[in-house]
Structure 1
Amino acid sequence: MKKVRYAIVGAGWISQVAFMPSVANSGNSEMTAIVTGNAEAARKLTDFYGIGRTCDYDGYDALLAEDVVDAVYVALPNSMHAEYAIRAMKAGKHAIVEKPLAISVEECEEMIRVAEENGVFLMTAYRLHSEPGTIEVLERLRKGEIGKPKLFASTFSFQSPDTNHRLKGEHWGGPLQDIGVYCLNACRHVFEAEPVEVHAMKVHGNGDPRFTEVEGSMAVTLRFPEDRLAQFIVSFESGETDFYTVIGETGSILVEPGYRFQVTPKIRVSRGDDHQTVEVPESDHFGGQVAYFSDCILTGKAPEPDGAEGLADVAIMLAIEQSAKTGQPQKVSLPPRPRHPEPSMVRTVPRTDRRLVL
């Protein structure tokens, strides 16, 4: 079977703990190169995974010019996503880019344009779009099990270490961009619509030195068409919390944990006094994601979480930031998405304990 060859661009924590270990079990993907500025890490990772090619960032274009990789996985700080994805796509390589896709609407638009001009796929790394539990929830909503969804609520929080680059303003860091994007993306697909108005409030940790450049916590309210509402709170300064709940006309669905990749989500459907726990197959989120993207590449079918999907969340997050800054609600105007996550996108991939985290 032909496999899609990937270069890992940015061999930091998420690459080491999640993406790189997942590739071997995907069935249709392999790692053939690592791009990193840490030569010692590169040596250890290439030895561990049996990867034949490595280079630093100065050698990136030379690598792309060789017949070594078909696609890149970009897991760099947010401010570097656009540059490294665009360079790869101009060289004819497909790109899967960690979220948020970029730091501005203009950068997202340029990434989309370059992908189209060069006949390659650009996918925003929304791993949950191929995860069985997420699709189970969306399918139950589509079947009307709790009536029409009316409300969405979520909290996602943890204590961020002070060394995290996501605390840097220059990289468009902060809890909204790092974990709030999960809540935002979830409510958009729960309602299968784009918000028309957002209102937000932020705090900076009450003097905590971690939050001089980015928020410590943020609370967001979104209005959707047909008078539906979503609210979420995200935080880098609070105990670990991870859930979302959808409340419909006749019942509710609670998903806890809702977003973390390390564990299988637990789903509880409630209608009055009737409570049902839904079993979800265990699956490696990152393995499912790369298997899905590689299938898209091999079959020529465009991925659902494409560049426009990433652009939508970036545009909404910028409006959220403006609201938090001014204290005023912000209008949002986006075209409806032509596609949403659905069962054909699910890839159930075995988890692995084989990883090297430096």
Structure 2
Amino acid sequence: MKNSRRNFLKAITASSVVMPMIASAKPLNKDGRKLNIALIGLGYYATYQLAPAFAQTQFANLAGVVSGTPSKIEDWKKKYNIPEKNCYNYQNFDKIIENKDIDAVYIVLPNSMHHEFALRAAKAGKHVICEKPMAVSVREAEEMIAACKKAGVQLAIGYRLHYEPFTNEVMRLAREKDFGKVKFVEASFGFKLRDTNAWRMKKAFAGGGPMMDVGIYALNASRYATGEEPVSVTAQWVKTDPEIYKDIEETLFWQLKFPGGAISSSTTTYNGNVHRLFVSYENGNLEMSPAYDYGPLKGKTSKGEMNLPVIKHQTAQLEAMSEAILNNRPVRTPGEEGLRDMKIIEAIYKAAETGKEIKL
């Protein structure tokens, strides 16, 4: 469908191939060890972003697949030379506990399924990488963290932007204050989605609307752009087409206050295109657009264009996560990072519903 998220992301991916792929500095895999990962869910993101990323990694290996669609499993087995014993469906997945050739799973399923498969993977003794949002509630996120800790496995959340140069520069500016303290942040992300059959349009699968899809990027950006955790939130929502957006929010606005005095204003929507990060500092500013998609990201500061390496985000993320897990070091984006966003998302929904400022 023309206005689907899939076509939106395919267009983004197509635009990125015209840019040179510049490798970022990364540790060399001197002993050749790789983290053997099984992908759970073989939809668009797994097919067009993660699978190609594996081919470029030193520390990660696509070792298995899990899907509810038998034909997809057959296709992936042939294309990526995956042995039959490393292929599972949703029903027999728990047998993965017997498979010593798989170290970790990467959950790429509808949001409502993250919790179940994270708990099942942890029980099987496998490390867990999970797409964001990590769950559909704070309770589920907390249970995922607890299950992985109990099992002695790591839980990593797929915040791919935390592994790429432009976002890391935004974080550095918040930390080192080249332009002084952050005063104001505008972080917004939305696109047109009107396909009522899409799982993202069904609250039972998505846990919400655009907030649980692309809005989380804007929320996370306001946190890393300030380098702080918000202390309160206000929010409002608007629905101009209730026949299309029956089950979820259509457009959501929210405002955050931070302890250092900064404020942020954000929008997410399924009824229009918005894709921007703006940061106002005491002595300058930063603007990125696009700021959150698969690239190439673009931005400028008061000093000029942000001339930074263009990389494949998923490759950098897989490399960093796998290298950390292999060496028993904490990952950069653990379950606690996902939990912080989930707590704020629940507060945003509560603020929009009640019209009150919600303390965090």
- Please indicate the TM-score interval, normalised by the length of the shorter structure: 0.7 to 0.9
Match of 1:125 in 2: 158
* Shift, 1:173, TM fit: 3.0
The answer as to whether partners of 2:187 and 2:219 remain within 8 angstroms in 1 is: no
Match of 2:184 in 1: 151
Cα shift readout 1:144-194 (whole Å, capped 9, x = no counterpart): 222111110022111125132111111203111111111111111222211
Match of 1:170 in 2: 204
Match of 1:339 in 2: none
Aligned residues: 325
For the residues of structure 2 that align with 1:127 and 1:28, how far apart are their CA atoms? 16
For the residues of structure 2 that align with 1:314 and 1:221, how far apart are their CA atoms? 16
Please say if 1:289 is aligned against 2:317: yes
For the residues of structure 2 that align with 1:56 and 1:277, how far apart are their CA atoms? 48
Pick from 176, 181, 197: which aligns with 2:216? Answer: 181
Q: Which amino acid aligns with 1:3?
A: K
Please say if 1:267 is aligned against 2:295: no
List structure 1 segments (4+ residues) > 3 angstroms apart after TM superposition: none
Match of 2:137 in 1: 104
For the residues of structure 2 that align with 1:175 and 1:317, how far apart are their CA atoms? 11
- Secondary structure in 2 matching 1:57: coil
For the residues of structure 2 that align with 1:74 and 1:107, how far apart are their CA atoms? 15
For the residues of structure 1 that align with 2:214 and 2:63, how far apart are their CA atoms? 29
Match of 1:200 in 2: 235
The answer as to whether partners of 1:205 and 1:215 remain within 8 angstroms in 2 is: no
The answer as to whether partners of 1:131 and 1:285 remain within 8 angstroms in 2 is: yes
The answer as to whether partners of 1:265 and 1:280 remain within 8 angstroms in 2 is: no
Please say if 1:37 is aligned against 2:72: no
Cα shift readout 1:234-277 (whole Å, capped 9, x = no counterpart): 111113x311011000110011111001x12112012xxxx500
Match of 1:309 in 2: 337
Match of 1:73 in 2: 106
* Shift, 1:129, TM fit: 0.9
For the residues of structure 2 that align with 1:168 and 1:64, how far apart are their CA atoms? 32
Match of 1:246 in 2: 279
- Secondary structure in 2 matching 1:58: coil
TM-score, scaled to structure 1: 0.88
- Where does the alignment leave 5 or more consecutive residues of structure 1 unmatched? 333-358
Q: Which amino acid aligns with 2:244?
A: R
Q: Which amino acid aligns with 1:149?
A: V
The answer as to whether partners of 2:174 and 2:226 remain within 8 angstroms in 1 is: no
Pick from 224, 227, 230: which aligns with 2:261? Answer: 227
Please say if 1:137 is aligned against 2:170: yes
The answer as to whether partners of 2:170 and 2:224 remain within 8 angstroms in 1 is: no
- Where does the alignment leave 5 or more consecutive residues of structure 2 unmatched? 1-31
* Shift, 1:75, TM fit: 1.0
* Shift, 1:65, TM fit: 2.3
Match of 1:9 in 2: 40
